[in-house]
Amino acid sequence: MDINVKEQQYVINTYTNRKITLVRGDLVYLFDSNNEKYLDFMTNYGVNIFGYNQKTITVGLSDQLRQLTTLHGSFTNDIRARASEEIIKRCGGLYSGVFWSNSGSEAIEAALKFAVLKSGKKNFIVCSDGYHGKTLGALSASGNLAYTKMFSPLLWDFKIIPFNDTKSLETAIDNDTAAFIVEPIQGEGGINIPSQSFLKKVREICIKYNILLVIDEIQTGMGRTGTFLASSNIQADILCLGKGLGGGIPVGATIVTREVQNSIPKHIHTSTFGGNPLSCRGVLETLKLLSGSRLSHINSVGEYFIESLLSINSKYILDVRGKGLMIGMVVDTLKRDTILKLLQDRHILAIPASSNVVRFLPPFIIEKKNINILMKNLKEIFDIL
């Protein structure tokens, strides 16, 4: 039986079927069941940040598979301890502890519970077009009615304010507010970039009114925007990481300050697979690769990428926005999916965001020559639209 037919028959189809069967990867390429290669500009929504079959990560994970893959959190482990120490250090020493889980959504779920434990309150403020996951708590924090409407009423009380609007934040805060949850750059919402002073002002407001700041770096973190964290130099009370954190292995992290950590009692929130040695080994190997020179590469090739998109002369391109290698090309809404399909037909993979954005999240090892291939094909596509 055809693989695509078999999967559509036996898997609950909650995703759009892009009708190609991918079976292996090598660096910046994915290969289908016919051994045709596809240039990857999506990294599985930001997960495979160093591409596929990267030697350091593959060797490390293979070694860990021969030692120990899972271990309950009531036992200590050398790999978990090292990964926890390293992630705290890489976050600038601003935090004291990490709760390991299996995904970004789970990291948000933990953050919500930790915020309630610290504040004693259950009201939150979030942003329109924000996205924090589709589990029930994370969904409650998302400002996208397309995802939330069918499940309303959702958990607790979540006020939605405009993104990049500190006046609205200050107005929305009341005596029952536990925390403000925000992405440094909105990914699913359309690669929306706030003003440079936004997070600094948000931090000041949260301190002024004694509410917690939860920063969701699940997509923006781990070097995606050219710095280890997009919120560098801004200390959240709770920081969430996921996606590219584990080198392709499922992992989420909820990182907290000492004050928040001290409010979390034993047994109140646990995860059987959270902090397993295999995923923590993926974290360690990924952190090894995220050197200063790699971050410099992300910035320089990201600038080249954005400049190249801006150089395309087409009435269908309405805007280009991004930072590092988190880039969105805003296009005519009616043409967005056609552009994605035509790119795929030319063996180039990108993904959507919002209703009118072609989103590019390439691996950090992408080179200018790969970007040039994309640009050549985009120009040809716009010529025939």
Give the DSSP per-residue string, 42-60: SHHHHT-TT-BS-HHHHHH
pLDDT of 114 = 98
| Residue type present at position 235 | Q
38 neighbors 48 (Cβ within 8 angstroms): no
* Backbone phi and psi for residue 216, each to the nearest 5 degrees, phi listed first: -95, 105
135, with CB counted inside 10 A (0-12, 13-18, 19+), is middle
Query: Which tokens is 239 given?
Result: 């920081």
Q: pTM of the predicted model, to two decimals? A: 0.97
245 neighbors 286 (Cβ within 8 angstroms): yes
Contacts of 233 (CB under 8 A, 6+ apart): 92
Q: Which domains does the chain have, with CATH numbers?
A: 3-53+291-384 (3.90.1150.10), 57-289 (3.40.640.10)
pLDDT of 146 = 84
The per-residue pLDDT of the chain, averaged, comes to 97
Query: Which tokens is 5 given?
Result: 């037919």
Beta strands in the chain (DSSP E): 22-26, 29-32, 37-40, 97-101, 123-127, 157-161, 177-182, 212-216, 238-241, 252-256, 317-323, 326-331, 348-349, 351-353, 357-360
Contacts of 92 (CB under 8 A, 6+ apart): 229, 232, 233
pLDDT of 1 = 59
Q: Which of 222, 213, 214 is nearest to 246 (CA)?
A: 222
| Local structure of residue 265 (DSSP, 8 states) | -
240/237 Cα distance (integer angstroms):
10
Q: Which of 283, 383, 299 is nearest to 342 (CA)?
A: 383
133/357 Cα distance (integer angstroms):
19
| Residue type present at position 265 | P
| pLDDT by 10-residue block (mean), the chain, 385 residues | 87 93 97 97 98 98 98 98 98 95 98 98 97 95 87 91 98 98 98 98 98 98 98 96 97 98 97 98 98 97 98 97 98 97 98 97 98 98 96
Q: Which of 212, 230, 279 is nearest to 252 (CA)?
A: 279
Across-strand partners of 253?
100, 241
- Is the peptide bond preceding residue 153 cis, with omega within 30 degrees of 0? yes
Contacts of 2 (CB under 8 A, 6+ apart): none
* Backbone phi and psi for residue 359, each to the nearest 5 degrees, phi listed first: -100, 135
Across-strand partners of 317?
331
